[in-house]
Amino acid sequence: MLHYALSRVLWLPPTLLAMALVTFLVMHATPGSPLDPVAEGANPLSPEAQRNLAKYYGLDRPLHEQFAIFVSKAVRGDFGNSFVYKTRTVREILAETFPVSLLLGSMALALAVVGGLMLGILAAVYQNKGWDYLSVSLATVGVAVPNFVLAVFLIILFSFVVPLFPTGGWESPRNWVLPTVALALAPMGIIARFTRASMLEVIRADYTLTARAKGLGEVPVVFKHVLKNAFIPVVTLLGPMFAAVGTGSFFVESIFRVPGMGRFFVLSMTGRDYPMIMAVVLTYGAFLAVMNLAVDLIYGVLDPRIRF
């Protein structure tokens, strides 16, 4: 296992380098410029001022030189200054916003895992009965309803009709409840559907029938024999899912006024903020690679037959 993990870690720098190169080329091939007056976040500037800023930021150099300079600074954790938020460095913005997005994503994923497993288990154990129909319906709603629609609905219901939680902010744990629920519903529906399908397959397996034939009760059969084996396909989802919700959600963070990384990333896209875009993409890529490695290692814990 150690050799496998080490080899995966050694592949991380080439993977991030390839991601950076592709993102860099796509950014510069896209029409527009951070110095263009029509770009959102950029002030109208004279051609001379644009040339001076291009020289200052190094945008007048050939692309291969720009990329080499970016990589040489990025390995030291220096992503440069933001083009949109000119008085702040990208590292300062990430240091301030990434922990907020990570906390929100962690709470949302924890809620999604607990709720999704409960719905999936109930749906599988009570197949074609009331619990099954209820669980499948809730999972379908969770996948079908966009999180920004759910966010507005939660604000109307729990901030105005039944005033239990604030409409937004990030000052106290009460502010965290609604954005966590809004962000968790879609992953919860996906986990519930995968759990149900996987458990139905394991429930019909020979070793499960043997366990019942030996006189084991339904609860030990489900939690000792069925769930552990059925959880392997679900674990596959958790790595990319955590990387997605842990690096910020533009709609949820904007609607609930959460000072996370998601809305900064969208503003950087519309404002052609090259350093911010590159930093967020690399952060997401590194996070995703680490989560996938963790998922692969968990496979061996859940099923000792899996060897690396």
pLDDT tens string 110-157: 999 999 988 888 888 888 888 888 888 888 888 888 888 899 999 999
- The 3-state DSSP class for residue 81 equals strand
Backbone angles phi, psi at 307, to 5 degrees: -120, 150
124-126-131 Cα angle (round to 5): 100
Distance CA 90, CA 156 (A): 35
Q: How many H helices and E strands in the chain?
A: 14, 0
Question: Alpha-carbon distance 238 to 301, whole Å?
Answer: 15
- Provide the pLDDT for residue 305: 65
- Quick one: pLDDT band at residue 88, thresholds 50, 70, 90? confident
Q: Distance (Å, rounded) from C-alpha 301 to C-alpha 117?
A: 19
Q: Which superfamily, per CATH, for 96-260?
A: MetI-like (1.10.3720.10)
Distance (Å, rounded) from C-alpha 242 to C-alpha 115?
A: 15
The H or E element spanning position 167 is: none
pLDDT confidence bin for 42, thresholds 50/70/90: very low
C-alpha distances in Å from residue 58, one per residue of 63, 65, 80, 109: 10, 9, 11, 40
Domain ranges of the chain: 96-260
90: Cβ–Cβ under 8 A, 6 or more apart, which residues? 79, 80, 81, 82, 275, 276, 279
* CA angle (243, 285, 168) in 5-degree steps: 40
Q: How would residue 44 be classed by pLDDT, with cut points 50, 70 and 90?
A: low
Q: Tokens in use for 111?
A: 């809620």
Quick one: pLDDT at residue 306?
63
The whole-angstrom distance between residue 269's C-alpha and the CA centroid of its chain comes to: 18
| pLDDT at 38 exceeding the cut of 60 | no
Given a contact cutoff of 8 angstroms between Cβ atoms, the answer to whether 295 and 288 are in contact is: no
> What separation in angstroms does the CA of 224 have from each of 82, 127, 131, 174, 208?
52, 19, 21, 36, 10
Residue bearing the bigger pLDDT, 57 or 117: 117
- Residue 177 sits at φ, ψ, to 5 deg, of -65, -55
Q: Which two tokens stand for residue 210?
A: 């043997």
When the pLDDT of each residue in the chain is averaged and rounded to a whole number, the result is 82
- Which residues in 245-283 are b (16+ Cβ under 10 Å) and which e? bbbbbbbbbbbbebebbbbbbebbbebbbbbbbbbbbbb
Q: Please report, for residues 196, 217, 230, the alpha-carbon distance to residue 204 in angstroms, rounded to integers and kept in the order given.
A: 13, 16, 11
* First vs last C-alpha separation in the chain: 6
| pTM beyond 0.85, yes or no | no
Distance CA 263, CA 252 (A): 9
- Check residue 37 and give its pLDDT: 47
How many whole angstroms separate alpha carbon 177 and alpha carbon 292?
Answer: 28
| DSSP letter for each residue of 103-159 | HHHHHHHHHHHHHHHHHHHHHHHTTTSHHHHHHHHHHHHHHHS-HHHHHHHHHIIII
